[in-house]
Amino acid sequence: MALQHDLDRRLRRGLTRERRAALWVFAIILAAVVVEFLWVGLTRLFEGPSAGCDRSVGSWPSGPLSFVTGGVLGMALLSIPLRHRLHRRGVLIISSGAVFVVSLGSVLFILGWWIAGHSPSSACGSVAGFFGPILPLLLVAHISGFLCRDTIKGKGGTPQPLAED
């Protein structure tokens, strides 16, 4: 009976110590990946198209912009559990809005670069490498845009109580 009472108390209070430690390990690994994505994306983006071809990153500007969008998406994932429950809605609006702006801006920049007359075949020698990231970036923009809009409007069903409530 005492064991059941202890388990019930832990469940009401939130995460166990072991699960909290596992989440911290996951967050640290995700933060390292975010830093790497942003570093690779931003350095290759600022080097410009004259920096040469790096097949591990992809065609300029679509490859570096995909890395930047992935980094911003990872930062958004890291920011959601921050703060008290009252702040989660605001954090979700800001993080999903940032992902929407960056991913849609990336798509528009890639298409604008092409419309401006730059040949995609000269960007690492592959047209598919140039236009390949557009569909995933549009999907990320679509999902994050609707998440931001629905969070602002207060849609999304009835809020479920958290374990700590």
Residue appearing with tokens 């967050």: 27
Residue 31: exposed, middle, or buried by beta-carbon count in 10 A (0-12, 13-18, 19+)?
middle
The predicted pLDDT at position 36 comes to 95
Dump pLDDT digits (tens) for 117-127: 877 665 565 67
Instruction: Give how far the C-alpha of residue 99 lies from the chain's centroid of Cα atoms, to the nearest Å.
Output: 6
Over residues 59-93, the pLDDT tens digits come to 788 888 999 999 999 998 888 765 566 677 888 88
Query: What pLDDT is attached to residue 88?
Result: 78
What's residue 92's pLDDT? 86
Q: List the domain boundaries for the chain.
A: 1-48+64-154
Name the pLDDT band for 154 (thresholds 50, 70, 90).
confident
Would the pTM of this model clear 0.85, i.e. be above it? Answer: no
Residue type, 27: A
Mean of the per-residue pLDDT values of the chain: 80
The span from the CA of 144 to the CA of 11, in Å, is: 31
The whole-angstrom distance between residue 68's C-alpha and the CA centroid of its chain comes to 9
Give the separation between CA 88 and CA 133, rounded to whole angstroms.
30
Q: What per-residue confidence (pLDDT) applies to 77?
A: 86
What is the rounded CA–CA span in Å between residue 41 and residue 56?
11
Rg of the chain over CA atoms, in angstroms?
A: 21
Structure confidence by residue, pLDDT tens digits, 3-32: 555 555 555 556 678 888 888 898 899 999
Q: How far is CA 116 from CA 70, 109, 119, in A?
A: 25, 10, 9
Predicted confidence at residue 109, as pLDDT, reads: 92
